Structure 1
Amino acid sequence: MSVRRGLLACVAVASVLTAAACTDDSPSPTPPTPTPSTTAPPEELSFGVVGPQDVQRAFRATVDAWNLDPDHVDVEIRSWPTQAAMRSAIEAGAAVPDVFMSSRSDLSWLMENSLIQPVDELLDDRGVEFGDTYSRESLEAFSTDDHLQCMPYGVTPTVIYYNKRLVNFDRMRARGLDVPDADATSWSFDQFAAAAEFASRPARGSKGVHIDPTIEGLAPFILSGGGTVFDDPELPKSLTFSSDSSKGALERTLELLRNPQVTLDETQLDERSAVAWFQRGKLGMIAGNRSLTPILRQKNNLDFDIMPMPRLDGSATVGDVTSLCMSAQTSSASLAADFMVHEISADWVGLVASTGYLQPANVEVALSDDFLQPGRKPEHAAFFNTGVRSMSAPPLIDTLPELEETVAPSLEQLVYGVGVLDLDTITTEIDDASKPVLDPESVTDSASPSETPSE
């Protein structure tokens, strides 16, 4: 590491450790507004970031390091707590930052509104190594129209978090129960079900498992059991919960999830969230991604670890990919690309990953101590990386929130309903309800009155 680079790194790390995010209170001369015909470089670029305060402080440190170099154009941070908050601000008229974080779930919206520009050629010209440093899955997630639209930054495969006191594999093994081997990198659905039943202790008021009754929550089990969630991976017109393969996977899964002795019921979830039950030590297992880790670490007496999503037939999970995008209206794509290269370097991605929230798309950082954090929970953080290889992302459609809301009542009936499960009827209802959201034109066409001859 050069002396200059070492100095910048020390300043950035110190900024995070002291939690002293810089402000814009210090006076500075206001540059004159350039005329429309000027070709002068911009005086400042903007960087849009999202996430909790720890993540925002880490990003502030990376920007501080950039701004220390007098040869760099200054970068100003604009921050939002969530991706949805950033999108709402932009939809309400806020300027799009020159470089900004985004989720793959917003890629369709960004492209349809011409808010971004491709980054592959700009980054390739600056020597960014795509193939060796990033997984194929993360690159494909933002590749469309023969270009890389945004640069992968983070990945979020879903895994199973488990309470090690409630799901004690050694004690289960001593009782002759089916458990994964100590060095296993996967586990079967039967082993998952056995762990859920073992963790359910009525005398102590604990339940074994909670899986959200949502498309995202059930999708890993459907995919693992050989089913499909959408009728087309790119341009879906319907959900496919009622297909034979999907129903077969759901039937096996729901035998566990509909057992009120093992899973949280609606009354308990009305009282507090599943994460809160897990934090209280009253829930054996919960699905989540890396961003849940620092939240659980806040409970000092909570001993937890992770496992991959269980296998019905094959390995499968779901998740999202986050990225850094470049505004289509940036005043200097060249300078914005220079700053993007700075932000995706291993040093600075590692600094953000060290907060515990980010699972980096950069493979080098994902395998480093900045992310794996040996000696801290969860012990088997490497399973986050394993999950990337079996992760499926939803199609590039901008109606996923509406779709989840539309089918929510049927999915809740699927998981929480009492009595005999009419799987054929409910899954057909789910698929039918999805069609007006995913393919509204076909529904409009079918609803149009047919022409009849006048009398």
Structure 2
Amino acid sequence: MRPKALVALLLSAVLVLTGCGSGGDDSSGDRGGPVKLLVFGAPEELAAYRTLLDAYGKARPGADVQLIEASDRKDLLARLATSVAGGAPPDLFLMNYRFYGQFAAKGVVEPLDERIAGSDVVDPAAYYPVAMDAFTWGGKQLCLPQNVSSLAVYYNRSLFQRYGVPEPKAGWSWNDLVGTATAMTRDSRGLVIKGTESEGAAQRPVVHGLGVEPSIIRLAPFVWSNGGEIVDDPDKPTRLTLDTPAAREALKNLVDLRQAYGVVPTDEEVEAEDDESRFANGRLAMLMTSRRATTNFRTITGFEWDVAPLPVYQKSVGVLHSDAYCMTRGAKNKDAAWRFLEYAIGEEGQKIIAATGRTVPSHIAVSQSPVFLGPAQPPRSAKVFLDAIPTVRALPTVSTWPEIEDLTYGILENAMHRGDKLDDVVRDLDQQTRPLFARGENG
């Protein structure tokens, strides 16, 4: 279980206390001192941002950007909320579109339209619209995206070759995914383990066929692919709509990966070793995750890996993963912060981060260049991420969406690992999230 309600309560209380969240003078003058940039990430991701800051320092001698490193997303959200309340927010922060709405709704984020209009570096037409649109609120461009990723299936090519199982390929179905994951779930003798009944025997899986998080962001593309919807109105949602036949089928199939087929690790196994580590250690054949895992997986030396597109129900659909640089309304050093933001989002900055493996660049030309598509470093099938962009859909940016994700995670986790009845799961998802939707604000 991952109880995160405390973070939501902290954020709610802090943002209410801060009102519009300005935290100080709203002038855009350069007050001097370092530009403070708040980010979080795995060690390899943080190293990527340090590389960007080093390059910026060389490109603009005398510029000073200080990286504030949060330990995880929960820590980043809490730090941002408390710093705003204390009147000393960072100048910039990097955040996923699914989480920035709570700050946008309270006026914490500085609109960038005027600065964009006067910029010789940032041309909105140069970026993927789906990522730009995800960071508009009240008709204003609040943040500028650095990446436009979707889910992909990372897979251990060496394991597939060892066991003679065909590798995933474009156009494969959900049933293909289940069959492949079953064929790749092996015991210590290298024999296939079918279903969950074998796990009481002496031979337990030493390689699981698939890792996938029981969350809304993992479920969403399959509900959409099957012709269903996650919410009743993407722009002004009031409830989840997982009670339709299409959505229920996708939900049941996700749960059955554990309950019927035993191809994903148990809850206890995930607590002992998370899926990303399990994949990197060669004990997970496939992992469904976003581009951000690439920086970590490029440290792998023991086997070859690659990426494949998501399996398809009726049509190909991806779910947007996008992070953006946002400026706080209470920033003390806005002009200097904007100069760095221009560099980070511009072609040169995006090339630097793309070369580290962290991003699918939101800058169209950079995403189509050898710095992203080149075969020098894995994944060799990087184009999978670009092919998915025309299909990606964004989840709602309602201000209470982080709370909705946290609440639904617990319900979906219990369904996958405890086997809760589907009717109860669908009912709880609907009834428990309705008050959160009612309290939320939309952009």
* TM-score between both structures, scaled by the size of structure 2: 0.79
8 Å Cα contact 2:367-2:373 kept in structure 1:
yes
- Aligned alpha-carbon RMSD (Å): 2.9
Q: Does 1:266 align with 2:267?
A: yes
How many residues align? The count is: 391
Contact 1:305 1:380 in 2 (8 A): yes
- Out of 147, 159, 182, the residue aligned to residue 197 of structure 1 is 182
Distance of aligned partners of 1:96 and 1:388 in 2 relative to their CA distance in 1, 3 Å threshold: farther
Match of 2:79 among 75, 89, 100: 89
Instruction: Kindly report which structure 2 residues correspond to 1:143-182, keeping only aligned pairs within 5 A, or say none.
Output: 143-168=136-161, 171-172=164-165
| Structure-2 separation of matches of 1:413 and 1:101 | 31
Counterpart of 1:308 in structure 2 is 309
In 2, Cα distance between equivalents of 1:347 and 1:270: 40
Residue in 2 aligned with 1:26? none
1:390 aligns with 2:391: yes
- Contact preservation (8 Å) 1:189, 1:310: yes
Matched with 2:426 is: 427
Structure 2: how far apart are the matches of 1:169 and 1:427?
40
Of structures 1 and 2, the larger Rg is shown by: 1
CA distance in 2, matches of 1:214, 1:405: 9
Residue 111 of structure 1 deviates from its aligned partner by 2.0
Q: Does the alignment pair 1:356 with 2:318?
A: no
In the alignment, the residues of structure 2 paired with residue 86 and residue 417 of structure 1 have an alpha-carbon distance, to the nearest angstrom, of: 31
Contact 1:67/1:75 (CA < 8 Å) preserved in 2? no
Structure 2 counterpart of 1:59, from 46, 52, 58? 52
Query: 1:440: Cα distance to partner?
Result: 5.2
Residue equivalent to 1:31: none
Pairing of 1:44-123 with structure 2 (within 5 A): 44=33, 46-50=35-39, 51=41, 52=43, 53-68=46-61, 74-81=63-70, 82-93=72-83, 95-123=88-116
Q: Describe the superposition over 1:216-252 as per-residue Cα deviations: whole angstroms up to 9, x where unpaired.
A: 2222221211111122212322222112221133344
Cα contact 2:80–2:90 (8 A) shared by 1: no
Q: Please report how far the alpha carbon of residue 368 of structure 1 lies from its aligned counterpart in structure 2 after TM superposition.
A: 2.2
Q: Give CA deviations for 1:96-148 in whole Å, capped at 9, x if unaligned.
A: 23343232133322223322222123212223454541111011111222221
Q: Distance in 2 between matches of 1:129 and 1:68?
A: 21
Q: Is the 8 A contact 2:148 2:360 kept in 1?
A: yes
Letter in 1 for 2:93: F
The CA deviation at 1:422 is: 4.0
Q: Distance in 2 between matches of 1:252 and 1:272?
A: 24
Aligned counterparts, 1:128-143, within 5 A:
128=121, 130-143=123-136
Whole-angstrom distance in 1 between the partners of 2:76 and 2:267: 32
Quote how far apart the aligned CAs of 1:255 are. Answer: 4.3
Cα distance change on mapping 1:91 and 1:161 into 2, 3 Å: same
List 4+ stretches of structure 1 deviating above 6 A: none
Q: Aligned letter for 2:292?
A: S
**CA contact under 8 A between 2:367 and 2:386: conserved in structure 1?**
yes
Q: Which amino acid aligns with 1:193?
A: V
Separation in structure 1 between the aligned mates of residue 73 and residue 266 of structure 2, nearest angstrom: 30
CA contact (8 A) 2:258 2:265 kept: no
Mapped partners of 1:399, 1:168: distance in 2? 45
1:297 and 1:217, CA in 2 relative to 1: closer, same or farther beyond 3 A? same
Mapped partners of 1:39, 1:110: distance in 2? 19
Distance 1:323 1:270 in 2: 30
Q: How far did 1:416 drift?
A: 2.6
Structure 2: gaps (5+ residues): 1-24, 191-205
Task: Check 1:83–1:156 CA distance in 2 against 1; reply closer, same or farther (3 A cut).
Answer: farther
What is the CA deviation profile of residues 152-177 of structure 1, one whole-angstrom value per residue up to 9, with x for unaligned ones? 2123311111111333499445xxxx
Whose RCO is larger (CA < 8 A, sep 6+)? 2
SS at match of 1:80: strand
Q: What does 1:181-260 align with in structure 2 at a 5 Å threshold?
A: 185-202=170-187, 203-204=189-190, 205-260=206-261
Alignment partner, residue 278 of structure 2 = 277
Counterpart of 1:43 in structure 2: which amino acid? Answer: G
Q: CA deviation at 1:361?
A: 1.0
Q: Is the 8 A contact 2:208 2:284 kept in 1?
A: yes
Distance 2:343 2:410 in 1: 46
Shift in CA distance, 427/161, structure 1 to aligned 2, threshold 3 Å: same
Deviation of 1:285 (Å): 1.0
Taking the aligned partners of 2:69 and 2:157, their CA distance within structure 1 comes to: 35
C-alpha separation in 2, matches of 1:107 and 1:408: 19
TM value normalised by structure 1: 0.77
Residue type of the alignment partner of 2:32: E
Where 1:210 maps in the other structure, the secondary structure is coil
- Unmatched tracts of structure 1, length 5 or more: 1-35, 174-178, 442-455
Structure 2: distance between partners of 1:196 and 1:368 = 33
Amino acid of the structure 2 residue aligned with 1:406: L
Given the alignment of the two structures, is residue 43 of structure 1 paired with residue 32 of structure 2, yes or no?
A: yes
Structure 2: distance between partners of 1:218 and 1:168: 29
Whether the aligned pair in 2 keeps the contact of 1:211 and 1:257 (CA below 8 Å) is no
Identity of aligned residues (%): 23
SS at match of 1:415: helix
Please name the residue that 2:202 is paired with.
Answer: none
- Residue 354 of structure 1 aligns with an amino acid whose one-letter code is A
Quick check: 1:83–1:103 contact (8 Å CA) kept in 2?
no
Using the alignment, how far apart are the partners of 1:373 and 1:79 within structure 2? 31
Q: SS at the partner of 2:159?
A: coil
